[in-house]
Homo-oligomer: A and B are copies of this chain.
Amino acid sequence: MVDIAPVLDALRAQRPLVQNITNFVVMNFSANALLAMGASPAMVHAVDEVEDFVAISASLVVNIGTLDAGWAQSMRLAAAKADALGKPWVLDPVGVGATRFRQQTCADLMRHRPSIIRGNAAEIMTLAGAQGGRSRGVDSLANSADAIDAAQHLARATGCVAVASGEADIVTDGERVATIRGGAEMITLITGTGCSLSAATAAMAAVAPDRFVAAVAACALFKVAAERAAAKAGAPGTLAARFLDALYGVDAGDLAFAASIELA
């Protein structure tokens, strides 16, 4: 059993400041998702201030979705600072399989020891050097279940918690493996739900010392919120608004009751 209810309660009690170096597409949605669930987001990326800002943040998420060389430099500086200060930081390796530039940037970032890596199955497999799973834009062609081995390999090799999200989410620290089920298929038609899950993971990691538990709590919250939203909206435009509503409305008791978490 993974005791996630106290994590959500702690999030809302502490309202941690979560620094986001993320992509242009999802900045607004990620910020709204963090606010709705109870965290305090900040999007700060300038080379001139990114280290100063890590110092006052509770956790950091680095998402390479719309990276370029300048942003990659900021990402490295921020990641290095988070590592040096022992603050949790989450890497979201968007589309890492698509280009050499993304592979190189992720390799550079992983030297700074991400606490958690959250991607789709193809991205996790790419990072693990596993076979199969070619990145197709930001979508995954592989089922998350196929990624368990890769995620465990990645977690063991790097000391991170690896999250391969998809129809089912896989979370592992190399030893423990949790599978979180639920959600709604239509949520994949809203851009930024994966990126926002990475941000949520950073928020949970700011308040939960066990990063495996933090990642499971974030995945469970998103699955439960997606289900609730899909019960109220049958198409992606209204679903996006309802999803934010549900992130706000789910309380710790709801979450513990509704989440489907299987430990292997």
Binding site for B on A (CB under 8 A): 17, 23-29, 31-32, 35-36, 40-49, 52-53, 56, 65-70, 95, 98-102, 136-139, 188-192, 234-238, 240-249
B41 with A191: CB separation less than 8 A:
yes
B236 with A41: CB separation less than 8 A:
no
A43 with B66: CB separation less than 8 A:
yes
**With A28-B28, A191-B28 as contacts: A101 and B244 at CB distance below 8 Å:** no
Contacts of A46 in B (CB 8 A): 66-69, 101
Contacts of A238 in B (CB 8 A): 241-242, 245
Contacts of A25 in B (CB 8 A): 27-28, 31, 43
Identify 14 residue pairs between A and B in the complex whose beta-carbon atoms are under 8 Å apart, listed by A's number: A24-B27, A32-B189, A32-B236, A36-B235, A36-B236, A36-B237, A41-B137, A43-B66, A44-B99, A45-B66, A45-B68, A52-B99, A235-B246, A240-B241
B28 with A192: CB separation less than 8 A:
yes
Assembly CA distance A44 to B102 (angstroms): 11
Copies assembled: 3
Within the complex, the shortest CB–CB distance from A30 to chain B, in Å, comes to: 9
B40 with A68: CB separation less than 8 A:
no
Further contacts, 17 of them, CB under 8 A, given A28-B192, A48-B99, A237-B242: A24-B24, A24-B27, A24-B43, A25-B43, A28-B29, A32-B190, A32-B191, A32-B240, A35-B190, A35-B191, A44-B95, A48-B68, A49-B101, A189-B248, A237-B245, A237-B248, A238-B241
Contacts of A95 in B (CB 8 A): 42, 44
Within the complex, the shortest CB–CB distance from A133 to chain B, in Å, comes to: 15
Contact of A99 among B53, B65, B191, B249 (CB under 8 A): B53
Assembly CA distance A42 to B28 (angstroms): 17
Assembly CA distance A49 to B236 (angstroms): 30
